[in-house]
Amino acid sequence: MIPVTGVYVLNGPNLNLLGTRRPEVYGSTTLSTLEELCREEATRLGLDLVFHQSNHEGRLIDWIHEAGARVKAGESIGAVFNPGAYTHTSIALHDAIEGTELPVVEVHISNVHRREAFRHHSYISPIARGTIVGLGVDGYRLAIDALHRMSLR
């Protein structure tokens, strides 16, 4: 059997509140609608989608390990990752991505550089293949497409 090539979309804390939490910052798209949008983009590119959200750092690390193993097995191209507030605090997520050599495109719905100063630093950006900020949920589509293009090189 030929393995299905997939893409992971991982979402960190409070992204389950999309559509209701600060819509003036994050928009009105819900997490389930975001998953549909990502699934449409993945399908367009012939990819299987694995979509997760967790408020727990350890669960995100487990999914990063899983995604990294699937990349090594030729079953995935990498992960689109919105770490939420863990972006600015989690060396553990940084180490998990670095340790698994997982290709990651970091995504943020809002432009974190136009927000509070503590949001300007990311522990993920230095090890990400790319970063998309401030383009709303469309950033996820762009990130899936970018990972796909990188996988073809």
d(CA 17, CA 102) in angstroms, rounded, equals 27
* Catalytic-role residue among 8, 86, 94, 108: 108
User: Residue 14, annotated ligand binder?
Assistant: no
* Catalytic-role residue among 26, 86, 123, 140: 26
Q: Any catalytic annotation for residue 8?
A: no
Q: Any catalytic annotation for residue 113?
A: no
User: Residue 21, annotated ligand binder?
Assistant: no
Structure tokens at 151: 């996988």
User: Residue 88, annotated ligand binder?
Assistant: yes
Structure tokens at 63: 């999914």
User: Residue 109, annotated ligand binder?
Assistant: yes
User: Residue 59, annotated ligand binder?
Assistant: no
Sequence-distant (6+) residues with CB within 8 A of 23 are: none
Strands 76-82 vs 48-53: parallel, antiparallel or unpaired: unpaired
Report the binding-site residues for substrate.
82, 88, 95, 109-110, 119
Residues annotated as catalytic (active site), given as ranges: 26, 108
